[in-house]
Structure 1
Amino acid sequence: MKSIQPKQHYPVVIVGGGMAGASLALALAQQGITCGVFEAFALDKPSQPSFDDRTVALSAASLNILKHLGVSDKLFSIAEPIQQIHVSEQGHIGFARLKAEDCDVTALGLVVENWQLGRVLHEKIEHHEGIDLFAPTRVTRLEQSAQEVSLRVETKEGDQRTEQVVTASLVVLADGARSPLRKALHIDSDVRDFETSAIVCNLSTQRPHQGCAFERFTPHGPLALLPLTQNRMALVWSKPREDVEHYLTLSEQDFAQKLESEFGARLGRITKVGKRNAFPLMQQKAETVFRGRCVLIGNAAQSLHPIAGQGFNLGLRDVATLSQCLHSVKDADYGHYDVLSHYESLRQADRDKTVWTTESLARWFANPWAPMSLTRNLLLKALDVTPVAKEVFAQQAMGFNFNNSELAANDE
């Protein structure tokens, strides 16, 4: 953090210094757009929700965006490449496989722990003079006029609290799914509660994972095992909310046995289980992505079920599109209605399609009806042996099925 106090005015203010907010700050700095970033949590504390022990699976398209931001080389040194994807359903023989070599790519994506990705992004920010990052600093209030947004920011150092008013042409809300400022702007969201929670932890297995990501559907919800460095796996295991506490308090041995019974023996025995946490699975989609001179990106705009691993990848496409929209703005009027209206129109199809697909998969694979289960397995088998279907699956997995000009621009 290069500035002791915020400037009185910034062309762009980003509220939230998590993965989406930090990525946007880097994208704008490369275009010469100065921004102030206000993050409510200290960056090096366990309470920082954006950079906890959860993992993110970065699609190949997302890696193109991160390459444009100058962080992909660092990521390859700390992340594990996805060489293949294996999809199956417990108790049935149908399955689908996708290998990087079949798609003529070196990797289908990368898996990295959130805190590792956060460290890479913030180290890059430290080298940009055009980014002022303040943490912990909370935006307690905002007011809009036709020309700018006024924000009241509160910084706490020890027992000392200081308040300051900062103005901006554009305010980007990247403060998460429970964004208090989104609510203050009276932007409603469509919220779907899946009535399940995801149990997450890192673990080790008897056999090497060989870069394979597993998605297995069980009667209680999806179970994902993603490859990590040091031959570890990242578990995301959906369970009914009323059962979660039981699984969190099981001994390591009993938890491993329960998991083995649902996942199977593809990786042999589970030899070690790390610290377990649980997160409620809900979906929210904001009715609009801007109001006045304030715009939403990432989880503040939409948060998804993790079944398809699209959450942060969708947020990165928000970042890519918004940075491209701001690139050609004249007179630094970044919050102009025409700019934000154009951004919303560019993002609508991708948001709608991804949210619908993710929710449909979550509900479709949770349906225990026997004819539905048979249909799923026939489709999985067809997906595994049909070249056209496999190509569509590959494009979806790598994030290349979104016809957005900003992705091509970021891949140049």
Structure 2
Amino acid sequence: MNFDFVIIGAGPSGLTLACALANTKLKIAIIEKNITKNFSKPKIDGRDIALTHRSIKILKDYGIWKFINKRNTSQIKEARVLDGDSSKYLSFDHKNTIRDNLGCLVPNQIIRKAIYKEIKDLKNVKIFTKSEVAKIISNQSGSKIYLKDKRIFFSKLTVIADGRLSKIREKMGIYANKTNFKTSMTVFRMKHKLDNYKIASEYFHYNQTLAVLPIKKNLSSIVVTLENAKSKTFLNMSKNEINKKIEQDLKNKLGKMSIVGKKYTYPMLTVYTNEFYRERCVFLGDAAVGMHPITAHGFNLNLRGVSILQNEIKNAIINKIDMGSANVLKNYEKKFKKVSLPIYLATNTIASLYTSQKPITKIARRSLLYIANKMSPIKNAIMDRLLVNN
């Protein structure tokens, strides 16, 4: 089967790229090992995605945002970072911007469902489910993609978006810098008596990280990150024990609290691939950069990658350049590295600094928050990065 463009992996990044190229004449195939209902009816996974204004604009441009009902979004008016039991905090407030909010939270399954709604009727896109790639062989003219069921696809450009533990990347012998933090993130929702005032808070305690994300006035998404052994203990606690623990950890700032629904746990592993492209192949999404969720920037960064790649592809089409050529893919790598590498390294540093139990790091992180809060240029620079809408 011949296609202009083959995407391996029907995750958010791969599907969003297909949406971005909907108005082209490219014949696109998406190869996915799972079945279709996983896309049309994605399971709740407990994760609420913090979208920046830039990301919302990208989703609007690609026709996805119209499928996200406003009632499924939760505005963030302020973001606070707190260290240990200190009463002082680093604050990012929408009042210091021209916006009426910093961004919004949307459940992960709602985003995935919206992406699928946009893509399912696109005439130039075909999704092949229950299809697993065995190997890829590329040359100057294109790539041959061999499936385990013996089918063969030919494409001018192959996009590999099969996740941070990409099997394709591994089969191609491409090294990826992986950091295992030996911690696990547990997410769940809690009702609470007091108003959260649409404030997102991140508490860096000395034995855990605790995030509170405002969903409704009296409902928040709670994210607890612990060492793996402690995480297992936490998961075995009763609902009443968890209620009391979170109330105490928050010093009763939200009053009486009660857990609702299931708990979901994820291991903390970050990935940064050493090569963003090979001959006729390019890496996208978590297969390229898998972020630590401590800064809630993973999905936003993936959307930037999609935006950069689709711009390079469209420019190549306009200028009648081979979209799978090394120059086109090299431009994508250069631009996406410029965006992704600084925030990847900074996020890993923050994650290491704020989870370390060493006395010197405790002093350093408290000092860092104090300095950042006092220096307006630093805060303004961060706010600009959060709120940029171009």
TM-score with structure 1 setting the length: 0.87
Matches within 5 A, 1:97-176: 97-153=91-147, 163-176=150-163
Counterpart position of 1:218: 205
Compared with structure 1, are the counterparts of its residues 9 and 232 closer, same or farther at alpha carbon in structure 2 (3 Å cutoff)? farther
Return the match for 1:42 from 35, 46, 53.
Answer: 35
1:374: Cα distance to partner?
Answer: 3.9
Conserved? CA contact 1:90–1:262, under 8 Å: no
Structure 2 residue runs of 5 or longer lacking an equivalent are: none
**1 CA distance for matches of 2:36 and 2:102?**
30
Question: Aligned with 1:29: secondary structure?
Answer: coil
Letter of the structure 1 residue corresponding to residue 314 of structure 2: H
**2 CA distance for matches of 1:96 and 1:382?**
9
Question: Aligned with 2:37: secondary structure?
Answer: coil
Return the match for 1:23 from 16, 22, 26.
Answer: 16
1:312: Cα distance to partner?
Answer: 1.1
**2 CA distance for matches of 1:182 and 1:105?**
40
Compared with structure 1, are the counterparts of its residues 387 and 293 closer, same or farther at alpha carbon in structure 2 (3 Å cutoff)? same
1:323: Cα distance to partner?
Answer: 0.2
**2 CA distance for matches of 1:383 and 1:323?**
36
1:267 aligns with 2:254: yes
1:229: Cα distance to partner?
Answer: 4.9
1:249: Cα distance to partner?
Answer: 1.5
Letter of the structure 1 residue corresponding to residue 61 of structure 2: H
Question: Aligned with 2:68: secondary structure?
Answer: helix
Conserved? CA contact 2:197–2:217, under 8 Å: no
Conserved? CA contact 2:65–2:114, under 8 Å: no
Return the match for 2:284 from 277, 294, 297.
Answer: 297
**1 CA distance for matches of 2:58 and 2:361?**
38
1:240: Cα distance to partner?
Answer: 0.6
Letter of the structure 2 residue corresponding to residue 99 of structure 1: D
1:141: Cα distance to partner?
Answer: 2.2
**2 CA distance for matches of 1:134 and 1:240?**
39
Counterpart position of 1:14: 7
**1 CA distance for matches of 2:160 and 2:345?**
23
Return the match for 2:325 from 336, 339, 345.
Answer: 336
**2 CA distance for matches of 1:80 and 1:299?**
25
Letter of the structure 1 residue corresponding to residue 99 of structure 2: V
Return the match for 2:50 from 28, 43, 57.
Answer: 57
**2 CA distance for matches of 1:216 and 1:369?**
17
1:91 aligns with 2:85: yes
1:145: Cα distance to partner?
Answer: 2.0
Compared with structure 1, are the counterparts of its residues 229 and 130 closer, same or farther at alpha carbon in structure 2 (3 Å cutoff)? farther
Return the match for 1:354 from 328, 343, 361.
Answer: 343
Return the match for 1:80 from 64, 74, 78.
Answer: 74
1:199: Cα distance to partner?
Answer: 1.2
**2 CA distance for matches of 1:132 and 1:100?**
42
Counterpart position of 2:225: 238
Compared with structure 1, are the counterparts of its residues 239 and 230 closer, same or farther at alpha carbon in structure 2 (3 Å cutoff)? same
Compared with structure 1, are the counterparts of its residues 33 and 268 closer, same or farther at alpha carbon in structure 2 (3 Å cutoff)? farther
Matches within 5 A, 1:332-411: 333-398=322-387, 400=388, 408=390
Identity rate of aligned residues, in percent?
Answer: 24
1:188 aligns with 2:175: yes
Counterpart position of 2:184: 197
**1 CA distance for matches of 2:286 and 2:197?**
31
Compared with structure 1, are the counterparts of its residues 284 and 49 closer, same or farther at alpha carbon in structure 2 (3 Å cutoff)? farther
- Structure 1 runs, 4 residues or longer, greater than 6 Å off: 48-51
Q: Which deviates more from structure 2 when the two are superposed, residues 215-224 or residues 328-337?
A: 328-337
Q: Deviations over 1:328-375 (max 9, x none)?
A: 214573211111111111112222101111011111112334454344
Conserved? CA contact 1:256–1:273, under 8 Å: no
1:285: Cα distance to partner?
Answer: 0.8
1:230: Cα distance to partner?
Answer: 7.6
Question: Aligned with 1:137: secondary structure?
Answer: coil
Letter of the structure 2 residue corresponding to residue 121 of structure 1: I
Question: Aligned with 1:30: secondary structure?
Answer: coil
Letter of the structure 1 residue corresponding to residue 285 of structure 2: G
Question: Aligned with 1:314: secondary structure?
Answer: helix
Compared with structure 1, are the counterparts of its residues 142 and 231 closer, same or farther at alpha carbon in structure 2 (3 Å cutoff)? farther
Letter of the structure 2 residue corresponding to residue 363 of structure 1: S
1:238: Cα distance to partner?
Answer: 0.9
Compared with structure 1, are the counterparts of its residues 371 and 92 closer, same or farther at alpha carbon in structure 2 (3 Å cutoff)? farther
Q: Which deviates more from structure 2 when the two are superposed, residues 115-124 or residues 50-59?
A: 50-59
Q: Which deviates more from structure 2 when the two are superposed, residues 375-384 or residues 324-333?
A: 375-384
Conserved? CA contact 1:94–1:377, under 8 Å: no
1:45: Cα distance to partner?
Answer: 4.0
Alignment RMSD: 2.2
Letter of the structure 1 residue corresponding to residue 322 of structure 2: D
1:30: Cα distance to partner?
Answer: 2.9
Question: Aligned with 1:329: secondary structure?
Answer: helix
